[in-house]
Amino acid sequence: MNGNTPVLALKGVSKSFGPVQALSDVDFEVNNGEVVALVGDNGAGKSTLVKAIAGIHSVDEGQVLFEGHEVKISGPTDATHLGIATVYQDLALCDNLDVVENLFLGREKVGDGPAAVVHQMDETGMEKRTNELLSRLAVTITDVRAEVGTMSGGQRQQVAIARSLLGEPKLVMLDEPTAALGVRQTAMVLGLIKRLREEGHAVVVVTHNLADVFEVADRVFVLRLGRKAGDFDAREATQEEVVAAITGAEFGRNGDEAGGEQ
Amino acid sequence: MSAHGGGGAAATADVVEGVEQPRLDLARRFIQGDLAELRVVLILGVIWAIFYIQEPRFLSSVNLTNLVLQATAVGLVAVGVTLVLLLGEIDLSVGAVSGLCGAIMAVLIEQKGWSPYLGIAVAVLAGTAIGLFQGSVFTAFAIPSFVVTLAGLLAWPGAQLEVLGETGTVNITDSKVTGLTSTFYSDTVGWIFAIAGIGAFAAFTLLARQRRVRAGLKAPPLSTLVIRIGLVAVAVLVAIWVLNDDRGLPLAVLILLGFVLLFFYITTRTTFGRYIFAVGGNAEAARRAGISVRRVRVVVFMIAGTMAAIGGIMAASRLLAVNQSSGAGDFLLLAIAAPVIAGTSLFGGRGSVWHALLGALVIQSISNGMDLLGLESSVKFMVTGAVLLAAVIVDAIARRQRQAAGRV
């Protein structure tokens, strides 16, 4: 794909809730086949930024460019239509439904002919597509007809991520995908994120876990008090630098001068 | 009655896992409640055995036919209640709505001289309209469905008194209406229905397997399906044999089965059915998936009102009259207890419309059996209550087992 134009670029974006300035003058971009970790302390504006991109909040000022074109994202459906998929921390899965049913929820395949009239679902078609998608992502779920409620946290996270990929999005945003997961489960989810990158998706991961950040991210974008506090190349930056940017402590270099991409 | 059915998920899980460890798996799923249908069939068997030992007439074809006829009104109302329970909601007004709609039908046909078809249609639509109203109030103001339908439970009997007027009782003489519960088909027709039903079930089961095989998906072993078809065939043939031994296959049973099959299809095969389960499982997730949660809820309450009206009409037809106490008393609670006894969860998202029919049979068997034994109503109520309580406890245990097994 076009290597030069970022999938998504925000320029000078600001957002306030009444007197609270949640985001001020933030520049942010993410490219194809790139995993950007979005880090920051509580209240730094991470979720506001994600929600602005996902269309849940509208931005007050600044430009949003999607694949080089200026766009206005005024609702979640706008974001979905552009090709932006978001997996929130609560995953929004129905525990009483199985993997296939959850993946296709709200966009079930309907059969042809008379089946279409009564919205009869094409179960075999959906199951086949689920198997294809999961094996492409190397997600190991033995029984796609098992209820999601009986699955481990890691599996549920994988199901939620797989669901976001069903619409072939260009940008996938994951909110705290490894929170509350064990070591093995975390490795499973991080492996999945790497495969998203290999497939050429742009990925934004919101996380608190710096070990995850250095394990999976190409770039680390730090927010502090609603402002950009650093944009690091994950291969070159040290954990101390990132922590300093997050906390605002005077340690070493300031994040803005670090080896980011801009 | 046929014990197959169940949620699509349960049916397929059986398929995929059943291959490796059939016996262990069956036991586990039985305990965890995935085989609620089988469990309730066993309960039914135990109840029938107990009454048979006490009073052999219980299992006579005459009594079994009566039992089925008695179960139809509650069963029809329970079908609508099941859908409401799947949403995780409750409709306390179904008994009152059934009484009111029965009264509307009786007055229109017997006093106003309307044609029976028109009278029945208007009564059914009145039920739909009440469901629309209650569902709209529930969703528009976000008032718990419990309270909205409680108001209905209080209000609609008033409307029923109003409709019935001064006499308070309307006798039903129209042959079309009384025929709903007093029409029996000849032996031949019964056997034709049985063979056609078994054939259709076998065809659907095998075709579904073939579709999966052709799509390259895991398919159940043919032997499992043949056994399942065989069990259903035996159940259907025995049922028809018993009914034919008495007066024949009743129209009322066909009506009940027809609605159960219709809603089984809707809940398990259509997107609307999927949305009912989704809203009952996690309404917020359903909303974020783009499902109009509000529309699903309103339509389900409309279905509940409609089925309540149909149940009320069948009850009126059987009683040959509508009076001030039609739809009152324990009718409502039996209609809610029926699906719950058979394993439909009160917490939403789990259950099957087959539970309405199986549960109605359980409840009616207890009531009918105790009538045969000449027991007091006091005992009847307490036993029915105890069975309901036991069923809900079993459901709660099953749920806990499921959760414990879930965290692998």
Residue B231 vs residues A12, B2, B38, B224, B309: alpha-carbon distances, Å = 69, 8, 12, 11, 34
Looking at residue B28, what is its pLDDT? 59
Q: What's the CA gap between A26 and B166, in Å, rounded?
A: 76
Between A121, A131, A147, which is nearest B270 by CB?
Answer: A121
d(C-alpha B193, C-alpha B214), whole Å: 31
The reply to whether A236 touches chain B by the CB within 8 Å rule is no
Report A:45-104 residues touching B (Cβ under 8 A): 76-77, 90-98, 101
Taking CA atoms, what residue in B is nearest to A153? B407
Q: Chain-wide mean pLDDT for chain B?
A: 89
**Those residues with Cβ within 8 angstroms of residue B126's Cβ, 6 or more apart along the chain or in another chain:** B100, B101, B104, B309
Contact list in B for residue A143 (CB cut-off 8 A) is: 13, 16-17
Quick one: DSSP state of residue B107?
A: I
Q: How far apart are CA B387 and CA B114, in angstroms?
A: 43
CA distance A14 to A27: 10
- Chain B residues with CB under 8 Å of A119 CB are 270-272
With CB atoms and an 8 Å threshold, state whether B277 touches A96.
Answer: yes
B81-95, B241-255, B362-376: which has the minimum mean pLDDT?
B362-376
Residues B343, B40 contacting (CB under 8 angstroms): yes
Q: For residue A220, give both structure tokens.
A: 């680390």
Share of chain A above pLDDT 90, in %: 56
How buried is B140 (Cβ within 10 angstroms: 0-12 exposed, 13-18 middle, 19+ buried)? exposed
Give B283→chain A minimum CA distance, Å: 8
pLDDT of residue A2: 46
| Radius of gyration in angstroms for the set of CA atoms belonging to chain B, rounded to a whole number | 21
Structure tokens at B11: 């049916």
Chain A residues within 8 A of B11 when measuring between CB atoms: none
Three-state SS at B216: coil
What letter represents residue B179's amino acid? Answer: G
Q: Do B349 and A98 touch (CB under 8 A)?
A: no
Chain B residues inside the 8 Å CB shell of A149 = 402-403, 406
Contact indicator for B300, B132 with CB cutoff of 8 Å: no
Q: Which of B13, B271, B285 sits opposite A145 (nearest CB)?
A: B13
> Across residues B12-37, what is the average pLDDT?
50
Task: Note the Cα B67 to chain centre separation in Å.
Answer: 15
Q: Which residue of B has its CA nearest to A109?
A: B271
Give dist(CA B149, CA B131) in Å, integer: 9
A89: nearest Cα among A181, A185, A175: A175
Query: Taking 90 as the threshold, does the pLDDT of residue B38 lie above it?
Result: no
Q: Cβ distance A134 to A151 under 8 Å?
A: no
Q: What is the pTM of this model?
A: 0.88
Give A90's contacts in chain B (Cβ within 8 Å).
Answer: 284
Using the beta-carbon criterion (under 8 Å), do B284 and A92 form an inter-chain contact? yes
The reported pLDDT for the residue numbered A142 is 86
Nearest 10 degrees: Cα torsion B297, B302, B308, B313:
-170
Average pLDDT, chain A: 88
Task: Give the separation between CA A21 and CA A18, rounded to whole angstroms.
Answer: 8
How far is the C-alpha of B381 from the C-alpha of B242, rounded, in Å? Answer: 28
Tell me the one-letter amino acid at B374: G
More confident residue, A261 or B31: B31
Query: Is residue A261 pLDDT above 70, yes or no?
Result: no
Of the candidates A108, A124, A127, the beta carbon closest to that of B274 is on A108
What is the arithmetic mean of pLDDT over B209-225? Answer: 91
Residue A208's closest CA among A87, A46, A27?
A46
pLDDT at position B25 is 60
Confidence of residue B392 (pLDDT cuts 50, 70, 90): confident
Compare CB distances from A93 to B212, B282, B405 and report the shortest one's residue: B282
